[in-house]
């Protein structure tokens, strides 16, 4: 991968006319046991947009992503993908929607009995049976080169670092050319150089593919770099949403306190 | 102001009833979740696309890799029954009944239950731990997020492999038990294998042995369902994985033994 130089502090504006609403979270509530995690979250992300969701640990950011991909069901409210409420869908119906989505888990969640190449090719092996084995392998190779892991196909997940696992996880998330990309803490636990490389990669993918992306992070620098809009969560609600400048101009005490840490 | 006279009694009942109610609730919830899991696995198993490659892999895992242990267990039990039967039958002057005693004991009783318990220990623990480990590391969530039905990919092939392999493993255990049982007897008194088989199976019909062998398919269903269910609902990191593996073996063995009681009666009523 090319070394990181000066990362752009402003990201490309979405294409003109690219505002089709891809993801809509409408007044979603979620409780686990007696803990109310989300208390009425409303967010919208359109094609070509990147929304960064920030907040303290434990405020429900990852739960929000799990609700959008359908791994959790909201207690009330709606999660709509391309206008369709996913709450009442069966596993197989949800599968048709998930083929258009890519999800990077916080700890990559690679399949530890498969090689790096097999991990990336796993969605292709199941959903692109029209491709020959050679075509699938070529696609896997391209994806791994794109994330800077070309040549590592035969390695096992236990043989690579956490940062490398994240790259492989990102390659796997991109395998089916998704329209919606969900990233859970893509730079958590990485050194600053690796974080910058992941940020650059996400920006590059956004420019090329114009996906609707939601990035959960508590890295404000990364969020400023890659996102069009930022949403700050606290106590289960969206406290403020907008460009970074909107956050800076907010007079809400929590927002100012959060920004001060950076 | 004094409390009403009935209050201490009510408080006593509440102290006993609350934990009991909680335990009953937990058991009912467990059975409810098991029912839902079984239904989802069944639906996934009978709807395409079918995971043939995964099924073949599991047939090897459950069948081929359990064979040495099952064969050894069968061989050992054959010797044990042979020694014990010879001693007991000699006391009652019924040594001529030895072949039939060994054959019926092994094929109708010991072979199936022994195979079931051995496979429950080996396969149940392995499956439960493997799936639990995948669950706590979010690999199952990743499978689902990749638009692949985890019941179709993970649970259905494993359960089907257990159902198909248990009867075959039972036949293997029976064969090893009869062979070593005959050998243990032949070491003491001359008895040809041909004579042993003829005498042991004299008057027997298919109904005498086949239902008992194929009832182990039900054992396989129990082992597969319990192990997959325990594994795929695990929480709690390494401790959860250990608990899932242990519970898979314990619960599968328990349900297997209970099922045997029911199946034996059913076979006697239907086939004999």
Question: What does the pLDDT look like over B5-22, one tens digit per residue?
Answer: 556 666 677 777 777 888
Q: Which residues form the domain of B262?
A: 53-271
| B 24-43 residues with CB < 8 A to A | 40
Query: According to the model, what pLDDT value does residue A10 have?
Result: 39
Identify the sign of the CA torsion B108, B111, B117, B123. Answer: negative
DSSP 3-state assignment of A153?
coil
Q: What range defines the domain where residue A62 resides?
A: 50-66+92-260
- How far apart CA B156 and CA B162 sit, in angstroms, is 10
CA distance B31 to B18: 20
In-domain check, residue A40: no
Interface mutation target, options B49, B61, B135, B142, chain A, most CBs of A under 10 Å: B142
Whether A1 has a pLDDT exceeding 50, the answer reads: no
Of A86-95, A148-157, B202-211, the range with the lowest mean pLDDT is: B202-211
Predicted confidence band of residue A189 (pLDDT cuts 50, 70, 90)? confident
Q: Do the Cβ atoms of A112 and B137 come within 8 Å?
A: yes
pLDDT recorded at residue A19: 56
pLDDT class for A229, splitting at 50, 70, 90? very high
The number of domains in chain B is 1
Tell me which of B146, B150, B155, B235 to substitute to probe the interface with A (most A C-beta atoms closer than 10 Å). Answer: B146
Contact B232, B135 (CB under 8 A): yes
Residue B6 in any domain: the answer is no
Rounded Cα–Cα distance for residues A216 and A103 (Å): 11
Backbone angles phi, psi at A154, to 5 degrees: -85, -5
> Is residue B157 one of the residues assigned to a domain?
yes
Please report the sign of the dihedral spanned by the C-alpha atoms of residue A82, residue A85, residue A86, residue A90: negative
Query: Chain A residues with CB inside 8 Å of B47's CB?
Result: 92
Judge if the upstream peptide bond of residue B49 is cis by omega within 30 degrees of 0. Answer: yes
> Is A159 contained in some domain?
yes
The pLDDT score that the predictor gives to residue A107 is 92
* Token reading at B111: 């072979």
Nearest partner of B54 among A108, A154, A126, A133, judged by Cα = A126
How many structural domains comprise chain A? 1
- Tell me how far apart the alpha carbons of residues B76 and B73 are, in angstroms, rounded to a whole number: 5
pLDDT tens digits, B16-69? 777 788 889 999 999 999 999 999 999 999 998 899 999 999 999 999 999 999
Per-residue confidence (pLDDT) for residue B29, from 0 to 100: 94
Is it the case that residue A191 has pLDDT exceeding 90? no
Q: Terminal CA-to-CA distance of chain B, rounded, Å?
A: 73
DSSP state of A157: G
A128 at interface of B, judged by CB pairs closer than 8 A: no
Asked if the structure places residue A254 within a domain, the reply is yes
Measured in angstroms, the CA of A33 and the nearest CA of chain B are apart by: 15
**Domain assignment of residue B41, yes or no:** no
Domain assignment present for B21: no
A99 vs B138, B143, B147: nearest CB: B147
Query: Is-contact B110 B79, C-beta < 8 A?
Result: no
Candidates A69, A95, A107; nearest CB to B149:
A95
pLDDT of the residue at B9 = 63
Residue A243 counted as domain residue = yes
State how far Cα A249 lies from the chain centre: 27
* Interchain CB distance below 8 Å, A111 and B139: yes
Strands of A180-184's sheet, edge to edge? A101-104, A180-184, A212-216, A50-55, A229-234, A237-242
Give A116 to chain B, closest Cα distance, Å.
Answer: 14
Question: Are residues B118 and B66 in contact, defined by beta-carbon separation less than 8 angstroms?
Answer: yes
Asked if B54 is an interface residue toward chain A (Cβ–Cβ < 8 A), one would say no
Which candidate in B39, B41, B145, B241 is best for mutational testing of the A interface (most A CBs within 10 A)?
B145
Query: Could you say which residues of chain B have pLDDT below 70?
Result: 1-11, 272
Torsion of CA B172, B173, B175, B181, to 10 degrees: 160
Show the tokens assigned to B204: 């027997």
Q: What is the mean pLDDT of the segment spanning A158-173?
A: 93
Per the confidence metrics, is the pTM higher than 0.95?
no
Which ipTM score applies to this complex? 0.88
The Cα A104–Cα A61 span in angstroms is: 14
Residue A120 · residue A175 · CB < 8 Å: yes
Q: Indicate yes or no: CB of A109 within 8 angstroms of CB of B138.
A: yes
Convert A64-92 to b/e letters by CB count within 10 Å (16 or more is b): bbbbbbbbbebeebebbbeeeebeebebe
Give how far Cα B41 sits from Cα of A72, A87, B29, B135, Å. Answer: 19, 21, 18, 17
CATH of the domain at A149: 3.40.50.300
Q: Is A123 in the B-facing interface, judged by CB distances under 8 Å? A: yes
Rg over alpha carbons for chain B, rounded to the nearest Å, is 24
**Chain mean pLDDT for chain A:** 87
- Has residue A102 been placed in a domain? yes
CA–CA separation, B166 and B46 (whole Å): 21
**B149 interface with A at CB cutoff 8 Å:** yes
């Amino acid at each position: 991968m090319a070394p990181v130089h000066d990362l752009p502090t402003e990201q490309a504006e979405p294409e003109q006319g690219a505002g089709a609403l891809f993801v809509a979270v409408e007044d979603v509530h979620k409780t686990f046991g007696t803990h109310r995690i989300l208390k009425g979250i409303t967010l919208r992300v359109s094609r070509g947009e990147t929304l960064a969701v920030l907040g303290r640990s434990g405020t429900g950011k990852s739960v929000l992503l799990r609700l959008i991909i359908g791994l959790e069901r909201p207690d009330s409210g709606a999660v709509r993908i391309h206008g369709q409420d996913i709450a009442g869908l069966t596993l197989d119906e949800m599968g048709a929607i998930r083929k258009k989505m890519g999800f990077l888990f916080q700890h990559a969640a690679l399949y530890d009995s498969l090689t790096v190449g097999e991990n990336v090719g796993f969605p292709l092996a199941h959903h692109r049976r029209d491709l020959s084995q050679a075509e699938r392998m070529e696609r896997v190779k391209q994806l791994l080169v794109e994330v800077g892991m070309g040549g590592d196909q035969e390695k096992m997940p236990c043989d690579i670092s956490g940062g490398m696992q994240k790259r492989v996880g990102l390659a796997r998330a991109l395998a089916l050319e998704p329209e919606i990309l969900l990233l859970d803490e893509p730079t958590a636990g990485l050194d600053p150089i690796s974080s910058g490389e992941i940020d650059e990669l996400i920006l590059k993918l956004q420019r090329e593919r114009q996906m609707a992306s939601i990035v959960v992070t508590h890295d404000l620098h990364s969020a400023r770099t890659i996102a069009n809009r930022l949403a700050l969560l606290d106590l289960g609600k969206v406290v403020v949403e907008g460009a970074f400048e909107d956050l800076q101009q907010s007079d809400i005490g929590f927002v100012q306190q959060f920004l001060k840490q950076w | 102001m004094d409390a009403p006279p009935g209050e201490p009694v009510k408080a006593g009942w509440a102290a006993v009833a609350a934990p009991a109610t909680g335990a009953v609730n937990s058991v009912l919830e467990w059975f409810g979740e098991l029912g839902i899991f079984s239904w989802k696995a069944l639906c996934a198993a009978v709807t395409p696309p079918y995971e043939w490659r995964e099924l073949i892999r599991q047939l090897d895992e459950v069948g081929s890799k359990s064979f040495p242990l099952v064969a050894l267990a069968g061989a050992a039990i054959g010797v044990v029954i042979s020694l014990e039967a010879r001693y007991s039958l000699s006391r009652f002057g019924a040594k001529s009944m030895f072949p039939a005693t060994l054959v019926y004991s092994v094929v109708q009783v010991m072979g199936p239950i022994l195979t079931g318990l051995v496979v429950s220990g080996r396969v149940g623990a392995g499956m439960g731990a493997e799936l639990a480990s995948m669950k706590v590391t979010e690999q199952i969530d990743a499978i689902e997020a990749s638009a692949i039905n985890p019941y179709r990919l993970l649970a259905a092939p494993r359960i089907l492999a257990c159902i198909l392999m248990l009867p075959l493993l039972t036949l293997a255990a029976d064969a090893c038990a009869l062979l070593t049982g005959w050998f243990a007897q032949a070491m003491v008194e001359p008895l040809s294998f041909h004579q042993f088989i003829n005498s042991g199976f004299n008057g027997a019909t298919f109904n005498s042995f086949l239902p008992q062998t194929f009832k182990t398919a039900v054992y396989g269903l129990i082992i597969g369902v319990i192990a997959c269910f325990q594994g795929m609902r695990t929480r709690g990191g390494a401790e959860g994985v250990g608990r899932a593996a242990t519970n898979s073996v314990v619960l599968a063995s328990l349900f297997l033994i209970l099922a045997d009681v029911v199946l034996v009666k059913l076979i006697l009523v239907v086939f004999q």
